Structure 1
Amino acid sequence: MSAIADIPAALSPEKIGEALRLIRPHVRHTPVLRVDMADFGAASRPVDLKLEQLQHSGSFKARGAFTSLMTQDIPAAGVVAASGGNHGAAVAYAAMKRGVPATIFVPEITSPAKAERIRSYGARLEIGGQRYADALAASELFVKESGALPVHAYDQPTTLLGQGTLGAEIEQDLPDIDTLLVAVGGGGLIGGLCAWYRGRVRIVAVEPEGAPTLNKALAAGHPVEAEAGSIAADSLAPRQVGDLMFPLARDHVAQSVLVSDDDILNAQKALWDSVRVVTEPGGAAAFAALLSGRYVPRAGEKVAVLVCGANTTAVKFG
């Protein structure tokens, strides 16, 4: 089956462009920072960092949340989402701005920073088990009981469409890149980016060794269950990637790279020490692949790295 045949019409670049025009007043056009890897103790090489951790609610997830809320009818019960934290914060933020109720189910492993951010936007926060899959099951029961509109973190067309708007924005900022390194959890982000680029840029998927969800799916040829550990478990450790994104990743992800928890911690620290960029572990995973040498660019390769989340208490002030 051809790559184009696998891409739903709802996820075409044209539809992604329409979504970006729709949500443009509600999301930030986040900046790009060019750095020299020599500043991080590596071989000198220019690299562009897309600083999407500066997005509203602290991650790229705001794009999918606004797209979902602005393209569907919202019932009186409002919206409900299951999340490791960032998606929940984004849905809570978008719901606050749209004036609708939001109920967010999170697992016990959700970081205090993310739970507090969700509450700060006025959403009802519920703890739904130990892992994301448990929170998702609890949210699905809530949908049946309440009639609220579910907003899935990654396996929903409107979510993928919204995350794809980041690809359109990156192309505006960096039209000449060869390669884009992207952290992967459930796959909504990388699926949306694949739907936008469709092979015009090498997309490299980066996951923790303790949560190789897409890596195992690509090896198996279909989504499969994988481990759900690692320091980034609250953002990059679903039970398996989404069914909707998988054909996009299968056809358009050029390489899958795994990084260790130490690699991620080192990347977090390096980004703060060298350029004062604050990230959560999941937000630093893509940069970890480059800094650790798990991904080695070719000579002359123009590389961009997506820094995707900053909901952390890693930096303390005072």
Structure 2
Amino acid sequence: MDWTAEIEAAAARIAGHVVRTPVMQSDTLWDRPVALKLEQTQHTGSFKARGAFNTLLAAKVPDAGIVAASGGNHGAAVAFAARRLGHRARIFVPEMAGPAKIALIERAGAALTVVPGEYADAAAMAARFRDEQGAIEVHPYDAPATVAGQGTLMLEWEDQGLDADTVLIAVGGGGLIAGAMAWTHGRKRIVAVEPMSCNALAAAMQAGKPVDVPVSGVAANALGARRIGSICFDLARAQDVQTVLVPDGAILEAQKSLWQAHRLLVEPAGATALAALQWGAYKPEPGERVAVLLCGGNIAPDPLS
């Protein structure tokens, strides 16, 4: 697949539908300056709107509408995009999505079903709905249109003057980091950061293939994929991407430091990449310029709900 062409087409397609999110440099979060991309300021509070809009704008949506399974952020993005484009949407989320993200989906206007269990259980019900009703499914991470949409983030960041050797990105199912890898083609070092308690990419890289992993922890409702997507795995293996793991405590400390230093309110998943720097899971070389992607801001409980 010509990912460069796909991502450029996606960027043109979703222009005017998504936010061009700001960037900044911090001199206080770590012992060297760190470039930040504030994607928590995207529609519905995460990067997921990019893939959702790209998928729906590129497809013919049937009368049965749209269906998606989500840990929360993807469902909110699909619901938002569907409403903006005039389509019906049905979203399936696991109980672990939490009240803040469930409320966000409800505010976006989609029909919502809360499923006992994990994301995989919600995904199974969404697939059954798709097959029975004839709806179009918007996959949260393992579909070319989703990956191309998420890849527009890195295209945009480079257009904003990203001057870094290394970019740290949190990983759940792998759609976001797959888009970054697909766009950069090795021009920058991409480091995958996962919680110790849900680490589907690291497990896959060690096993040589995608495998199921247990899911738990403070970031599980955003990064809690049981198995890494095949698109992400293939790109990561081809580019020999480094994976690092961080504990829940380091994620929470990174989340706290973003608020205290810059009044940036992010969810645990949004702070996971920064935690790799602050905790020392990733140790840059002297002079290495580092950037961190803040991917989501749907904190629970929502302090202003």
Q: TM-score range by the shorter chain?
A: over 0.9
Distance in 2 (CA, whole Å) between partners of 1:223 and 1:206 is 17
1:176 matched to 2:167? The reply is no
Alpha-carbon displacement from aligned partner over 1:28-67 (angstroms, at most 9, x marks no partner): 110111001xx24x42x11011000100011000000000
1:123 matched to 2:110? The reply is yes
1:17 matched to 2:4? The reply is no
The 3-state SS of whatever aligns with 2:103 is helix
Partner of 1:30: 21
Distance in 1 (CA, whole Å) between partners of 2:117 and 2:302 is 26
5+ residue gaps in structure 1? 1-7
Partner amino acid for 1:246? F
Q: Shift of residue 254 of structure 1?
A: 3.1
Partner of 2:120: 133
Alpha-carbon displacement from aligned partner over 1:62-93 (angstroms, at most 9, x marks no partner): 00000000000001111000000000000000
| Paired residues, number | 305
Conserved 8 A contact 2:100-2:302: no
Distance in 2 (CA, whole Å) between partners of 1:157 and 1:224 is 21
Q: Shift of residue 317 of structure 1?
A: 5.0
The 3-state SS of whatever aligns with 1:245 is helix
Partner amino acid for 1:291? Q
Q: 2:151 aligns with which of 143, 164, 172?
A: 164
Q: 1:241 aligns with which of 206, 228, 233?
A: 228
Partner of 1:187: 174
Q: TM-score, normalising length from structure 2?
A: 0.97
Distance in 2 (CA, whole Å) between partners of 1:253 and 1:204 is 10
Q: TM-score, normalising length from structure 1?
A: 0.93
Conserved 8 A contact 1:205-1:253: no
The 3-state SS of whatever aligns with 2:241 is strand
Conserved 8 A contact 1:51-1:306: yes
- Taking a change above 3 Å as real, the CA distance of residues 283 and 253 of structure 1, as seen in their structure-2 partners, is farther
Distance in 1 (CA, whole Å) between partners of 2:25 and 2:302 is 23
Conserved 8 A contact 1:202-1:253: no
Alpha-carbon displacement from aligned partner over 1:113-170 (angstroms, at most 9, x marks no partner): 1111100011011012210000000001111121110111011111011001111011
Q: Shift of residue 14 of structure 1?
A: 1.7
Conserved 8 A contact 1:280-1:314: no
Mean CA deviation greater in 242-251 or 90-99: 242-251
Q: 1:198 aligns with which of 185, 196, 203?
A: 185
- Seq. identity, %: 51
5+ residue gaps in structure 2? none
1:255 matched to 2:242? The reply is yes
